[in-house]
Structure 1
Amino acid sequence: AQKSIRLDTTVSTCPVCCPARACLLTGQYPLTHGIFLNQIRLEPDTTTFAEVLKSHGYDTAYIGKWHLDGDTHEQNFIPPERRLGFDFWRAHECSHNYYDSPYYDDSGIMKKWEGYDAFAQTDCAIEYLEGRQDEDDPFFLFVSYGPPHNPFHKVPEEYRALYNEDEIVLRDNVPAESEATARNDMWGYYAHITALDHCVGRVEEALERLGMTEDTILVFTSDHGEMNGSQGHDRKIRPWDESILVPFLLRLPDGTSRQIDTPFGIPDMMPTLLDLVGAPVPEGVEGVSFAKHMLGEADAPLEASLFGCYVPFANYSYEHGGREYRGVRTSRYTYVRDLEGPWLLYDNEADPYQLENLCGRPEVESVQTHLEGLLSDLLKEQNDAFENGQELLDRWGYEMVNPHAFRRKQV
């Protein structure tokens, strides 16, 4: 982190697994690529991140959790034509059994990662890098870990032992009735994060040992956050910072280091990274490049980043208090509208735990009007009429399989 550009207001555009991953690999927003739910197969009408780099001579590789192939599950083989441009393949659709985790290579035979899967996936990534040491062609390696996604306690015991559950300090917005569960979850959550920190460190050490740091960009990010008791909620999809904000660390060969508060959305990652390596951004990409801003050569291209919940589902279903919403996050404010109108407004500078909803107060009327204008402009750009969830499902031809998953309707 000390050798990286750190973007502290990186926003998950739709803070749940499949939609966020689709945004990253297409540079598009959910109502363009069509993945605003889990378990819908991504079938983009644009050139994907890996396909762009592959067409410019890059060797492309993917290791770990995929979660973009729809209603296939971990036992299903994802054929090469559905890998969106990745050639080297050691992946599975989705599993969070971190000690019995499957994957496939090109053989089509299910294999299992040995032990804690993130450690084995890191071994695989390092072996891939070692195999590239004497190659002249550039490479694009995407390592997708499952942790720290729940279950929080399927984690190596030596990492859990680093933390004392009773001494874990919770965020100020965790209500008393949620403290016990939150503290227990955070015990495992922190252990997973520490284990992944070790994994990323091993990859960095391998790059240095192999002499690759002088021409390699290293990125660390995530698809969504985790509430862990904040606001009395758990998991994701919620509009609060614990859910929508994700890390983004960018280590460049020259070691440029700076902290940036500018809001930066997941659809912006693809065009930014393509810009940094000198590859063209294909038509259909909706995100914008922040490369010059990150390098200190230009102002931020956007004031606000768009995020939303398009169809409430899983543990944020209607039955659990879920609602459709659209929002914007600026470097200072969060503003959210639901189907009834303005819902949330926080001054995150004065109120970092989002404890005081300022929505509708006379003293922030001008701020709310400005934020509403930003949100309205972004929704207009996306042709987002802010329909209710069922209207979106009907328009896209999706149906519910179970409260956690959807599919395209069978014709």
Structure 2
Amino acid sequence: MPDKPNVLLVMADQWRAEALGCMGDEQVRTPNIDRFANDGLVFERAYTPNPVCSPARGSLFTGQYPHEHGVISNTYHKLFLPDDRTTIAECFRDAGYETGYIGKWHLDGTIDGPGYVPPDRRHGFEYWRGFNRGHPHLRGFPNVAPDGSVEWEGDREPDIETDYALEFLDETEGGPSFLTLSWGPPHTPYEAPAEYGELYDPDELTLRPNVPDEMADEVRENLVEYYGMCTWLDDEFGRLLEGLEERGLADDTVVVFTADHGDMMGGQGRYAKGVPFEESIHVPLLVRYPPEIEGGRRSTSVVNLIDLMPTLLGLCDVAVPGSVQGTDRSAHVRGEEPASSTATYLEGNLPYDDTWRAIRTDECMLAIDRTLTTTHLYDMESDPYQLENLAGDNDVADLEDELRWRLFELAYAYDDRFIKARHGRQHEPEERIPLSDGR
């Protein structure tokens, strides 16, 4: 076994946590990920800091909230991840790891076409089989030249990306290595390969109770394709795990499966993401490392994707930079500490008038708008599908006040300057929220 483990971070795009067998969905077929869950640790309450692609990815790689790392939207002013942000790849590279990135990047601004990402904007990833953006699931993999021209390879993007991942494992066999594999599905377009879509019958699918009746037929048709893409990636994930076994790397590799955000899929009458509802903000997070993680464990700790960078560095005994806002959960992952985190801070639509902030606790979810007015309040224990908005209900006024207080504590702790400025103008100095570890 090498002195430090390899790390394989597998990230799907727009895969909500609920769409996994191991997370309770009895309709979707994800046998490989379910077996993986039985061999490792499942975080049942993992959340994205911002349920949109670019902000979430920036947070995952920097351990910072979007308001801190600066990528506050997919499209706003064609933002790039700033050069001065320390990333997880840079930390691993500087610790002697070989680093690699495969798939969709979406941190190099919004441009036409898949987009070439120059080496000086790859933020520590040395082996590179990436492209900036787009979802050519069934068109193939886009090999992008510096002039932006594209040579399409094969006909199924994730299959080729998995091939590249296995090639990377061969090329870095001596280790240690850190590889991020970023698959495009099950993001729109909702179009699975035919043999996977045929696995599901729309007439037999049960929808979540928060899908309006008038959308039911349409949602079932889309869910067939969404589930089909999930099963497709599950097969590719199985191929990766088999590749680790064949190369004798299974016990030497920390493997993570997650997603940047979820998909509403008709919930609350919506598609896509970007809103403070569970289907949008709740993401899968599963970790396996046989030497240190007991199989079959499930954590109820409320965690955030900004915690992933320091946690992976902690598992590999690599120093965590001071710029990180997330928390190192490696002791909890190893089973040395019990679940302790009971709340996390969320934000969305930062540059726009409909910007929001939210707090998700182990029991409730509260969201506020740009005027600091409570817009959403749900008892997630009794109302997991968020059917009854309690915001402004006098019967739960004390609960609302408590959650608002905790939300503002977190806003101050994470230096959310927009909220601090708004809150500061509304309160006398002695009434402002004190700094504390509200996590």
TM-score range, shorter chain: 0.7 to 0.9
Question: What CA distance in whole angstroms lies between the structure 2 residues aligned with 1:176 and 1:199?
Answer: 34
- Confirm or deny that 1:170 pairs with 2:207: yes
* Matched residue, 1:248: 285
Q: Which runs of 5+ in 2 are unaligned?
A: 1-36, 421-439
* Matched residue, 1:99: 138
* Cα deviations by residue, 1:366-394 (Å, 9 ceiling, x for unpaired): 32222111100111123324469xxxxxx
- Confirm or deny that 1:145 pairs with 2:183: yes
* Matched residue, 1:377: 409
Offset of 1:214 from its aligned partner? 1.4
Say whether the 8 Å CA contact 1:290–1:301 is kept in structure 2: no
User: Aligned with 1:145: secondary structure?
Assistant: strand
* Matched residue, 2:232: 195
- CA, structure 1 residues 110+37, in 2 after alignment: closer, same or farther (shift >3 Å)? same
* Matched residue, 1:409: none
**What RMSD over aligned residues (CA atoms) do the two structures have, in Å?**
2.0
* Matched residue, 2:167: 127
Question: What CA distance in whole angstroms lies between the structure 1 residues aligned with 2:317 and 2:55?
Answer: 27
- What is the one-letter code of the residue matched to 2:365? T
Percent of matched pairs sharing the same residue: 38
* Matched residue, 2:157: 117
User: Aligned with 1:8: secondary structure?
Assistant: strand
* Matched residue, 1:74: 113
Counting only pairs closer than 5 Å after superposition, residues 272-283 of structure 1 correspond to structure 2 as 272-283=311-322
Say whether the 8 Å CA contact 2:141–2:156 is kept in structure 1: no
User: Aligned with 1:263: secondary structure?
Assistant: strand
What is the TM-score when the length of structure 2 is the normalising length?
0.82
- What is the one-letter code of the residue matched to 1:2? N
Counting only pairs closer than 5 Å after superposition, residues 4-403 of structure 1 correspond to structure 2 as 4-39=40-75, 40-104=79-143, 110-133=150-173, 135=174, 137-153=175-191, 155-254=192-291, 256=294, 257-300=296-339, 302-311=341-350, 323-340=354-371, 341-386=373-418
Offset of 1:261 from its aligned partner? 1.8
Runs of 4 or more above 6 Å deviation: 105-109
Say whether the 8 Å CA contact 2:355–2:369 is kept in structure 1: yes
Question: What CA distance in whole angstroms lies between the structure 1 residues aligned with 2:324 and 2:392?
Answer: 35
User: Aligned with 2:390: secondary structure?
Assistant: coil
User: Aligned with 2:383: secondary structure?
Assistant: coil
* Cα deviations by residue, 1:190-212 (Å, 9 ceiling, x for unpaired): 00000011111110111011100
Offset of 1:72 from its aligned partner? 3.3
Question: What CA distance in whole angstroms lies between the structure 2 residues aligned with 1:78 and 1:346?
Answer: 42
Question: What CA distance in whole angstroms lies between the structure 1 residues aligned with 2:266 and 2:59?
Answer: 27
Say whether the 8 Å CA contact 1:95–1:101 is kept in structure 2: no
Question: What CA distance in whole angstroms lies between the structure 2 residues aligned with 1:70 and 1:260?
Answer: 36
- CA, structure 1 residues 246+52, in 2 after alignment: closer, same or farther (shift >3 Å)? same
* Cα deviations by residue, 1:344-379 (Å, 9 ceiling, x for unpaired): 111111111111112233333332222111100111
How many aligned positions are there? 377
User: Aligned with 1:349: secondary structure?
Assistant: coil
What is the TM-score when the length of structure 1 is the normalising length?
0.87
- What is the one-letter code of the residue matched to 2:361? T
* Cα deviations by residue, 1:239-275 (Å, 9 ceiling, x for unpaired): 1000001100001123523111221111111001100
- CA, structure 1 residues 326+220, in 2 after alignment: closer, same or farther (shift >3 Å)? same
Say whether the 8 Å CA contact 1:33–1:44 is kept in structure 2: no
User: Aligned with 2:272: secondary structure?
Assistant: coil
User: Aligned with 2:186: secondary structure?
Assistant: coil
Q: Which moved more, 1:79-88 or 1:109-118?
A: 109-118
User: Aligned with 2:80: secondary structure?
Assistant: coil
- CA, structure 1 residues 165+224, in 2 after alignment: closer, same or farther (shift >3 Å)? same
* Cα deviations by residue, 1:78-136 (Å, 9 ceiling, x for unpaired): 11111000011111111212122443478877332311111111111112212333x2x
Say whether the 8 Å CA contact 1:73–1:93 is kept in structure 2: no
Question: What CA distance in whole angstroms lies between the structure 1 residues aligned with 2:356 and 2:107?
Answer: 23
User: Aligned with 1:272: secondary structure?
Assistant: helix
Q: Which moved more, 1:40-49 or 1:50-59?
A: 40-49
- What is the one-letter code of the residue matched to 1:84? H
User: Aligned with 1:328: secondary structure?
Assistant: strand
Offset of 1:177 from its aligned partner? 1.5
Question: What CA distance in whole angstroms lies between the structure 1 residues aligned with 2:152 and 2:347?
Answer: 36
Question: What CA distance in whole angstroms lies between the structure 1 residues aligned with 2:375 and 2:409?
Answer: 18
Q: Which moved more, 1:177-186 or 1:48-57?
A: 177-186
* Cα deviations by residue, 1:143-182 (Å, 9 ceiling, x for unpaired): 00000000011x2111001000111110011011221221
Offset of 1:46 from its aligned partner? 3.0
User: Aligned with 1:147: secondary structure?
Assistant: strand
Say whether the 8 Å CA contact 2:141–2:161 is kept in structure 1: no
Question: What CA distance in whole angstroms lies between the structure 2 residues aligned with 1:130 and 1:218?
Answer: 16
